[in-house]
Amino acid sequence: MSFVNAPIRKKDAMSLVTGKPVYTGDLIPQNALVVKLLRSPHSNADIESINTAAALKVPGVCCILTWEDVPDARFTTAGQTYPEPSPYDRLILDRHLRCYGDPVAIVAAENEQAADKALRLIKVKYHVMEPLLDFTKAKDNTILVHPEDNFRALCPVGADNKRNLCSTERMDIGDVDEVLKTCDVVVERTFNTKANNQAMMETFRTFSYIDEYGRLTVVSSTQVPFHARRILSNALQIPKSRIRVVKPRIGGGFGAKQSVVSELFPAIVTLKTGRAASIIYSREESMTNGSPRHQMQMKVRVGASKDGVIRAIDLYALSNAGAYGDHGPTTIGLVGHKSLSLYGGLEAARFDNEVVYTNTMGGGAYRGYGATQGIFAVESAVSELAAKLGMDPCVLREKNMVAQGQMMPTYYNEPCNSCTLDKCMAKAKEMMDWDNKYPRRVLENGHIRSVGVAMAMQGSGISGVDIASVEIRLNDDGFYTLLLGCTDMGTGCDTILSQMAADCLDCDLDRIAVRGVDTDFSPYDTGSYASSTTYVTGMAVVKTCQVLREKILKTGAFMLNVPEETAEFDGKRVFVPGTEKQVTLEEIGYASYEGHNRCLSASESHSSLISPPPFMVGMAEIDLDPETGKVEVVDYVGAVDCGTVINTNLARVQTEGGIVQGIGMALYEDICYSASGKMENNSFLQYKIPSRLDVGKIHIEFESSYEPTGPFGAKSIGELVINTPAPAIMNALYNATGCFFDTLPVRSEDIFFAMEEKNK
Amino acid sequence: MFTAQQYVKAATLQEAYELNQKRNNAIVGGGCWMKMNRRRYQTLIDLSGLGLDKIEKTPEEFVLGAMVTLRQLETSLELKEAFGNGFYEITRHIVGVQFRNCATLGGSLVSRFGFSDILTFLMALDCQVELAHAGLVSLEEYAKMPYDNDVLAKVHIAVNGRRAAYESLRQSATDIPVLTCAASVLNGTLRVVVGARPMRAVALEFSFPETDEALAEICRQVEETVQFGSNLRGSKEYRCRMAGVLCRRAVCSLKEGTSC
Amino acid sequence: MLITVTINGKKYTDEIAPDMVLLDYLRQKGCYSVKRGCETSNCGLCTVHLDGKPILSCSYLAARADGHSVTTLEGLQEEAAEFGAFLADQGGEQCGFCSPGFIMNVLAMVRELKDPTEAEIQEYLSGNLCRCTGYQSQLRAVKNYLAHKQEVQS
């Protein structure tokens, strides 16, 4: 039986649905200190003095740390491969507070009440300075977010802290200005997207203790255990050899936990006190000082001939890093590379970008990682182009979409080895009944029903950077242990990779035992981000299985005393075809545990020089109440090419979940700051994520291509799926109202007044 | 989250009232909203032992205890019989069933939140609150009063043939409303209540419009006379315009069989 | 203060702080299925049954539970596994962090509503937020579970 391309139940499913204590917060040792943070009430301030004397006297308070107690070595909390493109711009505690909620002091106490009381008693004198909150005015502003001299960028990303620049980049293909001049139609528009919070249900949390060997053990809800080990080492200035990071089950990440957010605080307390220590971020802290999507402004110019051939795209993107540059220089790249590359026949393209520091919350990685913003802008501009040309937006896309076999100059010159975007478009049209529904109809109650379309792509891992290693051991009784360094955060990668291993080893899924990550035991993996796990780690599984099969065959042949070439391994036994000679896997397993033999295990690594894009077409059908501007997504269809689907259930749920996050981003997820820089939507009361009543019906179909460089022909799925809702819904809104919307989120109010303006 | 030194389950309403006179003491309704404040209370006063969790009906009125949950309002067949879907409409958007099993009628009214669906709708009915000290006070008056230390024990709703309709506008299904509007009619008089302005709900009365033109005029007056403000959920201008729309819709649903 | 609460059928008498919420008390008693996802009573992760009704244990004072009966997922393991299997067969548990609260509310719904329509299901469960799934797989699981229950009954 084949487990790949089947709806396999997750291996940890039953423990999750029966509520077993498997998450970080469930595992905190009884005697662990409770760690809490005193946070800055200002967006830009220097600490003049801190008096902790009264707070230290609170019974149960064990230690209070301030900027004077932490190493003066800057680092980044971005979970990226070393040397990180994100500048080293942080300290665990800094005298200069750069955003509202920046940590001022760390309090550790025997219980929460004591910690809370101590927080109230710490006296801080601030030198409050004017904050820089408008990112469009950040470059060369007189207010410097990072005036410090020990700021440094390890990579040449164009950072210049004396100009508030986190990074700058330019890509030119052909002469965009010249081509645009000769285009029959040019659309030009500026798009704005807000920061979005990942809002995973489990907030950031970590506990730490010194183990029996005197090493620092950090148990954390993280997507990047190995990067976390390095970042802890950088921040605490202790050798990596003294640190172990363990990842239990994670309650969602979506990129938020690709930064080290909560880990450092209990870790430094444990180092200073020798005591176990724990921190659980409140929802408010997760909202105000997490690692959200970067706010961006994008200027797009798209030019085409009058018969609808898209000839050139010019894209400028400005990104708000916020107070710290985590993932700033890298998210911005995807804005261009993963939007322009949707169009295969461009004569010229330009992508300019700048990432700037401001005194808002530092950004991070959120599913889609810049591609989401870029695709919103470029796809919206292309839809506007279709309107200008008087073309069906699907037809315009069919004419211009990238196709299998093309080279992709805007995508690092990678070849498009696998792509069924054309089939995705056909399938989506069929699912939506596009030809009948486009562009709109008016219902009896006066509501307008309209449809909209968008395409999307992403990558599969970071080419030439991401690396995954896998180890598989044969045990007595003939079962396997699959050791992984990638992090299942609910996505099911432990199961998906087990499915691959079971198919490669011709065994039942139950014969594969799999583990969460422990940096002491697990083989190295960059972690679960950049849509890398299925594609990169999956290939490492395939390779490892091949090597292990050879070893099993060799041992079996040795036990049978026959030449290796004459024997075969079918998953259950090594045998010589046409004879009765055979030895079972169980026997080989037992034999490998005996003195005269050797234990059978294999470990292989994989890295890819290319990052094959998965593709998708998304279509929204909306219901608009023209009297109020209230819009509801009634139906959403997604046709997805993620190569071979490894787990049909999990890929479907990934897609449905991503689409719903995208709907939230399009219509109401809206991080707002007060005039002093305090976040106003710092809770689930104010920052609304979609409930089940908000999302309509979602229909998903897969149009699988076969990616020759992927495991079983697979590409990625996790990030791609968040990218279509915003531009598809904007297109549907245009088809309903005749108005173009370029600033997210689009609220009822915006629609109402835009329609009124139009009807004047 | 608040803190407290003591918890007292009041044995009588009088005891609750006396305890509530201390500035640092407070009554716990459902606790859902209260937990969002960070005050340090001395004593928490619980009314759950006073039998105030009942919906009682006499020929003249409904008497609802302060500890009746929003879920009770939502699912009460008697309230449905008397007021149609009104009580369902004003509760179903509020977070979720679990929340509504905790949150209480008394808590909703005492807080007098601007965004309250409950307050908006009840103001359109003939409603009085029964306070431990001040006795019966009309809800409209109570809605204007500043917060004090009295204890809201019961809510009386007259059963007098008044019909009411409710409309609200929300950015997402379980969010706080951008605007609420209730309309009711009794003996040819129309009462329109507008809430989530975002300030507390206010009521206006008109003679019931028989023509579309008269209704349009009422909607225009609502837009013009009611004060609106801006917050995260909407601007003053938008609320003003929507007040007219919701008012018209509410009145139209009162006019059975009339299309608007 | 002293309270006596029946948790999952077993009576406990404990000294608690007057401002302790039920959620923290239940976790202290080892009911780790009960999770906290927000501070504003919005997410539904902490849903438990109080005398059979679903409530938010984050908002309910432990003191008020005195003399009442509380049920958590630990006390409904058989039903959790039965419905959970339908959820797992859709991949609808994903990260699983919202699953206990969600399942507690599904089980409350099954007790309270007879043959609910799809709209009634969605409305009953709307207080349970989930960021992973987009809710579609959860709905499929609930429908399959209800159909299965009906089949078993008839």
Alpha-carbon gap: A509 to the closest alpha carbon of chain C (Å): 15
Based on the fold, state whether residues C12 and C64 are members of the same structural domain.
yes
Which tokens hold the place of A351? 């992508």
Q: Report the DSSP beta bridge partners of residue C11.
A: C6
Residues C43 and C70 in one domain: yes
Best probe of the A interface among B5, B34, B180, B238, by most A CBs < 10 A, is: B238
B169 and B198 in a common domain: yes
Give alpha helix (H) positions in B156-235. Answer: 212-225
Q: Return the amino acid letter for A152.
A: R
Out of A681, A694, A752, closest to residue B172 by CB: A694
- Helix, strand, or coil (residue A184): coil
- Give the count of Cβ contacts less than 8 A between chain B and C: 91
Average pLDDT, chain A: 97
A to B CB pairs, distance under 8 Å: 44
Interatomic CA distance for residues A511 and A505, integer angstroms: 10
Tell me the C-alpha distance between B58 and B53, whole Å.
16
Q: Same domain, yes or no, for C108 and C52?
A: no
Any domain includes B24: yes
Which of chain A's residues have a Cβ under 8 Å away from the Cβ of B172?
667-668, 688, 690-691, 694
Residue among A113, A681, A691 minimizing CB distance to B173? A691
* CB-CB neighbors (< 8 A) of A692 in chain C: 122, 125-126, 128, 130, 135, 138-139
Model confidence at A33, pLDDT cuts 50, 70, 90, reads very high
Residue A105: what are its φ and ψ, rounded to 5°?
-150, 155
Degrees, nearest 5: CA angle B15-B16-B19: 85
Cβ burial, residue A274 (10 Å; 0-12/13-18/19+): exposed
Nearest CA in chain C to B72: C53
Whether residue B67 is found in the same domain as residue B35: no
Single residue among B139, B158, B177 that ends a domain in this structure: B158
> Residue B260 falls within a domain, yes or no?
no
Q: Which of A628, A670, A691 faces B242 most closely, judged by CB atoms? A: A628
Q: pTM for this structure?
A: 0.98
End position of a domain, from candidates B117, B139, B158: B158
- Look up the domain containing B132 and give its range: 55-158
DSSP-based three-state secondary structure for B104: strand
User: Tokens 């889609």 appear where?
Assistant: A368
| Alpha-carbon distances of C27 from A208, A504, B13, B251, rounded to whole Å | 20, 43, 34, 50
How far apart, in whole angstroms, are the C-alpha atoms of residue A493 and residue A292? 23
Closest partner residue to A202 among C92, C97, C138, by Cβ? C97
For each of the domains in chain A, give its residue range(s) and CATH number, in order of start: 28-129+203-252+256-288 (3.90.1170.50), 295-460+611-759 (3.30.365.10), 468-606 (3.30.365.10)
Q: Distance between CA atoms of B113 and B175, rounded to whole angstroms?
A: 14
Chain B residues in contact with A121 by the CB 8 A cut-off are none
Cβ contact B159:B82 at 8 Å: yes
B84 and B136 share one domain: yes
Q: Label residue A578 by pLDDT band (50, 70, 90).
A: very high
Q: Give the tens place of pLDDT for each residue, A100-132.
A: 999 999 999 999 999 999 999 999 999 999 999
Q: Which residues of B touch C39 (CB under 8 A)?
A: 1, 35-36
Residues in CB range of A444: below 8 A, 6 or more apart: none
Contacts of A672 in chain B (CB under 8 A): 232
Q: What's the domain range around C117? A: 76-153
- With tokens 């006190």, the residue in question is A273
Sheet with A568-569, edge to edge strand ranges = A568-569, A573-575, A582-584
pLDDT at position B258:
45
Residue B259 lies in a domain: no
Number of domains forming the structure of chain C: 2
- Both B30 and B73 in one domain: the answer is no
Q: Is C82 helix (H, G, I), strand (E, B) or coil?
A: helix
CATH of the domain at C70: 3.10.20.30
B interface test, pick of A685, A748, A750, A759 with most B CB neighbours within 10 Å = A748
Which of A249, A660, A693 is the closest to C122 by Cβ?
A693
Tokens of A703: 């149009």
- At A14, list the tokens: 């039953």
When divided into structural domains, chain B yields a total of 3
C47 with C96, same domain: the answer is no
C-alpha closest to that of A277 among A62, A105, A108, A24: A108
Beta strands (DSSP E) in A100-184 are 103-109, 123-128, 165-173
> Which chains are adjacent to chain B, needing at least 3 Cβ pairs under 8 Å?
A, C
Give the residue from B89, B95, B97, B115 with the most C CB atoms within 10 Å of its CB, the best one to mutate: B97
CB of C47 less than 8 A from some CB of B: yes
Each residue of A121-170: pLDDT tens digit? 999 999 999 999 999 999 999 999 999 999 999 999 999 999 999 999 99
pLDDT band at residue A1 under the 50/70/90 scheme: low
Stretch (H or E) spanning A546: helix A538-560
Q: Is C142 on the interface with A (CB under 8 A)?
A: no
| CATH at B168 | 3.30.390.50
Whether residue C61 and residue B28 make contact (CB cut-off 8 A), yes or no, is yes
The C-alpha atoms of residue A196 and residue A662 are separated, in whole angstroms, by: 10
What tokens does A736 get?
């309903």
Same domain, C83 and C146: yes
Question: A342-401 pLDDT, tens per residue?
Answer: 999 999 999 999 999 999 999 999 999 999 999 999 999 999 999 999 999 999 999 999
C-chain residues near A18 (CB < 8 A) = 33, 73, 77, 80-81, 84
Shared domain for B154 and B204, answered yes or no, is no
Burial per residue of B232-243, b for 16 or more beta-carbon CB atoms within 10 angstroms, e otherwise? ebbbeebbbbbb
Q: Which residues of chain C have pLDDT under 70?
A: none
Nearest chain A CA: its distance from B133 CA (Å): 34
Half-sphere exposure of A630 (CA within 13 A, CB side): 20
- CATH code for the domain of B117: 3.30.465.10
Indicate whether C103 and C34 sit together in one domain.
no
Q: Which chains are within 8 Å of A by 3+ CB pairs?
A: B, C
Tell me the C-alpha distance between A664 and A636, whole Å. Answer: 13
| Domain boundary residue, one of C53, C74, C95 | C74
pLDDT of residue B164: 96
Nearest to C100 by CA among A206, A202, A278, A685: A202
Window B:188-247, CB contacts with A under 8 Å: 232, 234-235, 237-238, 241-242, 245
Residue C139's CATH number: 1.10.150.120
In the block, residue with structure tokens 């080895």: A417
Q: How far, in Å, CA of A708 to CA of A185, rounded?
A: 38
Nearest to C133 among A20, A284, A653 (CB): A653
Residues of C with Cβ-Cβ distance to B1 under 8 angstroms: 19, 21, 39
Does residue C81 sit in the same domain as residue C147? Answer: yes
Helix (H) or strand (E) holding A273: helix A264-273
Quick check: A694 contacting B, CB < 8 Å?
A: yes
Residue B154 sits in the same domain as residue B59:
yes
Which of B123, B158, B193 finishes a domain?
A: B158
Q: Is residue B143 part of a domain?
A: yes
- A161 vs chain C: nearest CA distance in angstroms? 36
Tell me the torsion sign for CA atoms B208, B213, B216, B222: negative
CB contact under 8 A, A690 and B169: no
Q: CA-CA-CA-CA torsion for A53, A55, A60, A66, nearest 10 degrees? A: -80
Among chain B, residues having any CB pair with chain C shorter than 8 Å are 1-7, 9, 28, 30-33, 35-36, 41, 44, 46, 48, 71, 92, 95-99, 101-102, 173-174
pLDDT in tens, A689-745: 999 999 999 999 999 999 999 999 999 999 999 999 999 999 999 999 999 999 999
B143 and B182 fall within a common domain: no
Q: Point out the domain boundary residue: C49, C74, C99.
A: C74
Query: For A389-451, what is the HEC assignment?
Result: HCCCHHHHHHHHECCCCCEECCCCCEECCCCCHHHHHHHHHHHHCHHHHCCEEECCCCCEEEE
Is the same domain home to C143 and C80? yes
Does residue B233 lie within any of the structural domains?
yes
User: By the CB < 8 Å criterion, does A710 face chain C?
Assistant: no
Cβ-based neighbour number of residue A47 at 10 Å: 20
Instruction: Tell me: do C88 and C64 sit in the same domain.
Output: no
* C36 and C64 in a common domain: yes
Name residues whose C-beta falls within 8 Å of residue A691's C-beta, 6 or more positions apart in sequence. Answer: B172, B173, B174, C126, C127, C129
Q: How many CB pairs (< 8 A) connect A and C? A: 179
C141: its two tokens: 């699981």
Same domain, B122 and B205: no
Task: Using CA coordinates, name the residue in chain B closest to A746.
Answer: B171
Same domain, C84 and C148: yes
ipTM above 0.95, yes or no: yes
Query: Which one of C47, C74, C101 terminates a domain?
Result: C74
Q: Which two tokens stand for residue A445?
A: 């109650």
What does the pLDDT profile of chain B (260 residues) look like in tens digits? 999 999 999 999 999 999 999 999 999 999 999 999 999 999 999 999 999 999 999 999 999 999 999 999 999 999 999 999 999 999 999 999 999 999 999 999 999 999 999 999 999 999 999 999 999 999 999 999 999 999 999 999 999 999 999 999 999 999 999 999 999 999 999 999 999 999 999 999 999 999 999 999 999 999 999 999 999 999 999 999 999 999 999 999 998 644 34
Q: What confidence tens digit (pLDDT) does each residue in A218-233 have?
A: 999 999 999 999 999 9
Rounded distance between C-alpha atoms, residue C11 and residue C14, angstroms: 10
Query: Do A454 and A383 touch, CB atoms closer than 8 A?
Result: yes
Which of B173, B238, B245 has its CB closest to that of A749?
B238
Question: Is residue C20 less than 8 Å (CB to CB) from chain A?
Answer: no
User: Do the domain assignments include residue B215?
Assistant: yes
Beta strands, E only, A529-680: 568-569, 573-575, 582-584, 601-606, 615-625, 630-641
d(CA A633, CA A621): 6
d(CA A468, CA A539): 9
Q: Which of A317, A221, A358, A392 is nearest to A735 (CA)?
A: A392
Selected residues 33-72 of chain B with any CB under 8 Å from a CB in chain A = 36
Q: Which SS3 state, helix, strand or coil, does residue A739 take?
A: coil
Q: Do A201 and C35 touch (CB under 8 A)?
A: yes
Q: What is the CA radius of gyration of chain C?
A: 16
Same domain, C59 and C80: no
The answer to whether residues B120 and B60 belong to one domain is: yes
Residue to test with chain A: of C8, C57, C136, most A Cβ within 10 A? C136
